[in-house]
Each structure stands twice: as C-alpha cells, then as structure tokens.
Structure 1
Amino acid sequence: MPEGHTLHRLARLHQRQYAGVPVEVTSPQGKFTDASAVDGQVLVKAEAYGKHLFHHYDSAGSVHVHLGLYGTFTEAKLPVLPPVGQVRMRLVGGTHWTDLRGPTRCELLTPDQVDAIKARLGPDPLRRDAKPEQAFERISSSRTSLAALLMDQSVVAGVGNVYRAELLFRHGIAPMLPGRSLDAVRWKEMWADLVTLMRHGVRVGRIDTVADEHLPHVMGRAPREDRHGGEVYVYRRTGQPCLVCGTPVAHKELAGRNLYWCPVCQPE
C-alpha cells in the first residue's frame, strides 16, 4: 500500500497540472458514478492527508481517493489515448491527463464528509497543521506495542510498513515496546526524524532511510534491489546482515503485516 509521501507527491502533481481550470472527469469503467457531477468544474485544490487524496472542486464537493493495496495513477501529456484496463476515473486538464485504476475508494463527498475523514485521522507528519502531541497522547496512554500504534492511522496518518520499521530501527526501539513506555523527549526526536524522512520521500519518490556511512558505495555492498526502491536498514531484509552490527534481520507477522527489526540494535 502506498505510504503518505506518495499521496502528498500526487497531490502536488495534480495541483500543478490541473488546479485553477475546468477539468474533464469521466469514468470509463463506469464505477465512479458521480464523475458527471464534477465534469467541467474547476479543480480548486488537490491535497493529501495521510493516505487519503482529495480533489476539491468549485461547488460540486470533493473527490476522495484511497488507493488501498492496488490503486495507481498514471500520468501523461495530451493528447488523450483510449483507456487501457479498468479505469475508475479519468481526469483531463489543459496539458495533461491521468487515469486512476484499482482504488479502494473513489467517491464524491460533501465538505462535512471530508472533515469527518480528517477528524478520525491522527496527525500527518507532512502537513503544516500537524500536532504531534496529539499522537503522543494516544501513544503514552496505551499498552499496545509501538509497532502497532505507528501503523494505526488514527494515531499517526500516513505511516506504513516501511516507515514504521525504519523509524523504530533508527531510534533503537524494540518493536514490541508498549506505547506507554515511550517518553516525550524520545517521541519528539522520532517525530522530527519522521518529518525529515517523509519530506525526502516526497522529493525523490522513494523511501531512503540509511545514513551516508551505510550507503552501498561507502560499505562496498551491492545496491538494494526491490520494487519499493530506496536504501533501508531492515524492511524486507529478513535474514540479511544488519548494516550496522551484522546480526541477521528478524521478521514476524504483527496484525497481519510483516514486521522487521534487528534484535541487537533494537534490544527488548
């Protein structure tokens, strides 16, 4: 599932390519039945909150997109080509067009419905209005593991499996540490690090978490080959040596998701 940096990257792209002018909105697949309600309307703003993307229109409401596990946008310059595959929504602007396929949600919402979605989300590290103390309030009062809390979108919005694993490693925290055992100073450090990592992800379009001294050309190792891209410490590196101490990276399932950590660098 795409993590928060991907949605913010898409929001910036759509803001740049489509905002401020009337756009053509259709549903070649036919499943986005409200496409006609926004077709020809001015796209006022595209914004992301966590893993949610919103296209706000002049007077017709907002299109809400959640990509889920399989959703993707494909972007291209005009002219428009015939649809390929199951296109849920097609957006055509002045110079570009984009197709949305396979999302979990693609729906037209009222302002109140948009506010309701945002209200149930935790602070988003990529938003200027984020309040990290709200997340800490939830974390510090919970016996649930930090690994689970960081994946809870009502605690922190936009963090997925990669950022979860890498953030805990970078701060030497055992994944199963109860939230209430984390102190405020350490959370402040983790939040600042998360903001930095995710902003980098928006800029480059991938997740990089390793320090300069652990990059492939410095360590004399092969670059990581993975469809997620980027250089990471533990994510999807089960059994491989930790880049810091050499211990095999551990793995287990937690709440149906894969969890990765170094038993030595992240002691119980």
Structure 2
Amino acid sequence: MVYRWRSRQADFTVWGAKREPMSEVIKSHLFEHSQDNVSQEDPGVSWECPYCDRSEISYDEEKTIQNFKDHLFEHEDQFIESSTHVADDIDRAGNILVKGPTDSPGIDNARAHFFAAGDIIILITTNPGARLRLLREELGSWPALTVVLTTKDNPAADISGLDISNVPIEIVKLSKQLGLSKLGRTISQVLEDHGNSEGKIVVEFDILSEIITKFGEKPSFKFLQILTNQFESADAIAYYPLDPDSVEESTISLINESFDLRVRATETNFISEPRY
C-alpha cells in the first residue's frame, strides 16, 4: 500500500511508498499552478499565498521560491492519504498503462505494487524467470495461483533454481508465430478457467511493445480494445508496462484511450497522466 495525493487544481495524482519523495513532486505541481502569485521585479522576488495572508519578499530568488513551495505544501500535507493502491482509482477493476524504461526500478516497483493486490496472478511475458523471481521476492510467499503465458523457448530452463515444486503455478507455452486472434482466445480461456475462483485477478501484460512492433499500430489498437474489455469484464486489474521510447509517440497517443488510467513510474513515485 502507498500514500496518495490528489491535486485540487488539475487532473493529477501522485502515489509513493514514502512521503518525502512525494512531497517534492507535490511542491513542484503546486508551484506550477501558483506562479501568478509570484512577482519577479528588480530589486527582488516576492510571493503571496493564494490560500492565506502569508507573503514574502527577498533578494534571494532561489531561496524565496523554495520557501513558497514549502509553504504551499503546508496547506496540502493534510490531504495526503495513506494505505491506498493505484488500482483504487479504477475501483480495482480495469486497465492501467504504466510508462517507464524497460525493467527500470520504477517499473519493478510497479510490478511489486500490483502483485500485492492479487490472489491470482497472470503473467503474459517473454521473461518468465525474472517475473517469477520478483514475484517471490516481493510478496514473500506465492499467491493462491500463478499462471504464466510465454513464448520463451524453454521456460523451464528460464526458471531453473527457483523452487516451484509445491507452488500452484501453470505455465502455458505460446508459439512465437501466434497471431493476435489466437493470443486473445488463449487469454480469454485462461480468464474463463479461473474467473470464478475466489480472489482478485491481477494481470501483467508485459508484451505490449512487442505486439506493437510485430503487428503494427492499428491491429494492436483493435486488439487492445478487445483485450481491455476482457479484463474489465473479468473484474481483473490489468497493468501494461511500456517503455515510451520503444514505440512512436503517435502510437502512444492512439492507444492511450484504451486505458482507464495512465501512470509514469519513477524510482520513488507513480505519477498520473491526465485522463483526457
């Protein structure tokens, strides 16, 4: 679970495991929306708080601006919520695009965060060994069920050294020649097989950039429209790690609308993108 702060001025939310790194993001956001309250004229810089009668004037611009940010944060600190989950913002059912460099600390933090919300974990990935090891390390114990769908040539070898002898886990080997329709039907069958099981389903769709590269923009977009509806109908939380540098900006703009929520994952925080 993490802390959450929602802006009262814009469609902006930040989540974080620790308050201090969050506070810097919050301060920058508040300052961005309060710059009309700053006056920079010779011989100094001044500010007036939009929420109270506090003001300041000084020759030291950097220090004065920082004081303004700190003061703005004092008004907002009380609105930081605790014990929240990113998926709370979509009522714990739907689709979340998570942007960040491939396998970066931010993306791995997102994985751990979403894994923690699941009783049944479905991993759709080309790297099953790394995902299962992270799952085991971060949760401390295995979920009620883990299902892995992968095109890895030898998934058993990829997870060698990981003791799964008594672990409830299913590994589905996918053909690398699999088309979008067959992939969609396979995922649908997995959801059908486990949709009536007790507990929350969490899905990591870790092959979004590969899908876009292999099949192109428009087919991938149509596939996403069907896939996201499937996950939502199953009352699942589905998240999609994506390195923005791996696909064209125009493609990202197109697929953005397929998701209920879009966040940027940094090493310390998750930061929302505008919904509209």
Name the TM-score, length of structure 2 as normaliser.
0.22
The structure with more radius of gyration? 2
More strand as a share of residues: 2
Larger RCO: Structure 1 or Structure 2 (Cα < 8 Å, ≥ 6 residues apart)? 2
Name the TM-score, length of structure 1 as normaliser.
0.22
More helix as a share of residues: 2
